[in-house]
Amino acid sequence: MPKQNRVLPTGEIVALTERGGFMGNRGVLHDDAGRLGTRRWTHRRWICCRLSFRGRQRQVMAPGAYTELFFLDEAVALAAGHRPCAECRRAAYDAYRAAWERAHGQAARADEIDRELHRDRLLPNRGQRRLTAEAGRLPDGTFILHCGRPVLLTAGRAYSFCPGGYEVTERPSPRTPVKVLTPASSLAVLAAGYHPELHRTAAV
């Protein structure tokens, strides 16, 4: 029976058999039996990690330990409101922060990034905050809702999200208004040149 720890681009945390290519952390969200409760975070530092690092071994959803969350790829993690981990993905974090600073015109520390991300990813009712923008103005790596499904835009193409990978789909016309899943602050980072790691099914 799969655990409820797979994160979708729309922000839901669901139970799927597919593992995913990245792991995330938002704090302890499960009980001692490994069941997810009503909380979806316990701190603002939502990070995206490698699946393996320095030989560390973890029991998934161990009592009292942080809840391991999983994403198909980094674009999904960004859409769900996460950013690269500064420890296990230091090069990616440095690239993300450099793009953040280019986008905002000033230096930023991790706490400042996390505070702004937290504001941009959530509504007051704790639902996912979604922007509206013209499809043609969105940078590569952005997730949108199109025909009711999460869709990744990259390299002039559109890919419909599936639990095990992507399927090519029709890209919206450039002037079509679409709902954007990727938070505004990460959207600016993508526009400033950050390139998330994508699943092989979205390779071009």
Residue 2 DSSP code: -
**Each residue's pLDDT expressed in tens, for the chain with a length of 204 residues:** 899 999 999 999 999 998 899 999 999 999 999 999 999 999 999 999 999 888 788 889 999 999 999 999 999 999 999 999 999 999 999 999 999 999 999 899 999 999 999 999 999 888 899 999 999 999 999 999 999 999 999 999 999 999 999 999 999 999 999 999 999 999 999 999 999 999 999 975
pLDDT tens, residue by residue, 41-81? 999 999 999 998 887 888 899 999 999 999 999 999 999 99
**Does residue 117 sit within a domain?**
no
Is position 135 within any domain? no
Contacts of 69 by beta carbon, 8 Å cutoff, 6+ apart: 5, 6, 7, 13, 23, 24, 25, 26
The CB-side HSE value for 166 (13 A sphere, CA atoms) comes to 26
Partners of 36 in beta bridges: 30
Q: Is residue 34 part of a domain?
A: yes
8 three-class SS: coil
- pLDDT of 57 reads 82
Q: What is the DSSP letter of 138?
A: P
Host domain of residue 54: 4-88
Q: Is residue 43 part of a domain?
A: yes
| pLDDT at residue 39, as a whole number | 93
Structural domain contains residue 84: yes
DSSP string, 78-105: HHTT-EE-TTTTHHHHHHHHHHHHHHHT
| Pair 176, 190: CB distance under 8 Å | no
Angle of helix 184-191 relative to helix 90-104, nearest 10 degrees? 90
Residue 24 lies in a domain: yes
Contacts of 125 (CB under 8 A, 6+ apart): none
What's the confidence (pLDDT) of residue 118? 96
Beta-bridged to residue 122, according to DSSP, are 128
Give the chain's domain count. 1
Residue 163: left if φ>0, alpha if ψ -120 to 50, beta else—which one? Answer: alpha
Query: Which one-letter amino acid corresponds to residue 108?
Result: A
The pLDDT value recorded for residue 19 is 82
Could you tell me if residue 31 is inside a domain?
Answer: yes
Q: What is the pLDDT of residue 136?
A: 96
- Which residues lie below 8 Å from residue 126, measured CB to CB, with a gap of 6+? 40
Residue 123 covered by a domain? no
Task: Give the number of other Cβ atoms within 10 Å of residue 171's Cβ.
Answer: 17
Q: What is the pTM of this model?
A: 0.96
What count of other Cβ atoms lies within 10 Å of the Cβ of residue 29? 22
Residue 204: per-residue pLDDT: 58
Give first-to-last CA distance, the chain, whole Å: 34
